[in-house]
Amino acid sequence: GEDVEQSLFLSVREGDSSVINCTYTDSSSTYLYWYKQEPGAGLQLLTYIFSNMDMKQDQRLTVLLNKKDKHLSLRIADTQTGDSAIYFCAAVSGGYQKVTFGIGTKLQVIP
Amino acid sequence: DVKVTQSSRYLVKRTGEKVFLECVQDMDHENMFWYRQDPGLGLRLIYFSYDVKMKEKGDIPEGYSVSREKKERFSLILESASTNQTSMYLCATRSPSGETQYFGPGTRLLVL
């Protein structure tokens, strides 16, 4: 089955750019998601990208997809303290379009 | 905006009790999912349903069952709660196109 991996922790200074990386294993994955989870809350869908796209930009967020390497990244420009959260990468694959999540990357923004 | 609601934010139950977790969505989506989230393990799929009265096992269905009698409602049932089922439970629904998956706020369950 699909396996999604991401680093556990990232620390950046306020105003800098953050880049959170993710790798997945199933080359037939159709969609890839980025979710944000703040403490005690559910998951908030930040953005998604189709597998036939290389890049998607949405305000401060830029998603890059390297399908050959099965590598996905989320760049947050001008990172703010409110961006501190856990970010989950997820990939959709298989007949039932199952969603497999990474373990989550905790982003710490230092003022 | 899609709204996914879960019946409780926090729940405390005793070992052996039967526990019902309810999830309701307001967008007429066919696909609904139950996950549990544990520190260091991320989200794991328990069960999902792609239509009324249809259900499929996810990665960790043991100790759980589900019910989907109406399209908008997907229930997770712990037949006999155990302490290792203490967790955060998240319900989700997916748009028909498959592009987006929306989550409820979660239910934090403590089994004593």
Structure tokens at A23: 């790798």
Centroid of chain to Cα B86 = 14
Average pLDDT along chain A? 92
| Euclidean distance between CA atoms B93 and B103, whole angstroms | 7
Q: Which residue has the tokens 């003022």?
A: A111
In chain A, residues with a C-beta closer than 8 Å to the C-beta of B45 are: 98-99
In chain B, residues with a C-beta closer than 8 Å to the C-beta of A6 are: none
Per-residue pLDDT of A10-26, as tens digits, reads 999 999 999 999 999 99
The mean pLDDT values, 10 residues at a time, for chain B of 112 residues are 87 97 93 92 91 91 96 96 96 84 93 97
**Inter-chain contact B106–A96, Cβ cutoff 8 Å?**
no
In chain B, residues with a C-beta closer than 8 Å to the C-beta of A99 are: 33, 45, 92, 94, 101
| Euclidean distance between CA atoms A32 and A23, whole angstroms | 11
Q: How confident is the model at residue A89 (pLDDT cuts 50, 70, 90)?
A: very high
Nearest to A30 among B48, B98, B104 (CB): B98
pLDDT at A101: 92
pLDDT at A62: 97
pLDDT at A68: 93
Q: Is A83 helix (H, G, I), strand (E, B) or coil?
A: helix
Does pLDDT of A99 surpass 90? no
- The DSSP output letter for B58 is -
Nearest to B42 among A33, A41, A101 (CB): A101
**Inter-chain contact B99–A102, Cβ cutoff 8 Å?**
no
In chain B, residues with a C-beta closer than 8 Å to the C-beta of A88 are: 42-43
**Inter-chain contact A33–B43, Cβ cutoff 8 Å?**
no
- CA of B106, closest CA in chain A: separation in Å? 5
| Euclidean distance between CA atoms A91 and A25, whole angstroms | 9
| Nearest Cα residue in chain A from B10 | A40
Fill in the amino acid letter for A34: W
Per-residue pLDDT of A47-75, as tens digits, reads 999 989 999 999 999 999 999 999 999 99
Q: Which of A3, A45, A63 to mutate to test the interface with B (most CBs of B within 10 A)?
A: A45
Structure tokens at B107: 């239910």
| Euclidean distance between CA atoms B93 and B31, whole angstroms | 6
| Euclidean distance between CA atoms A101 and A88, whole angstroms | 7
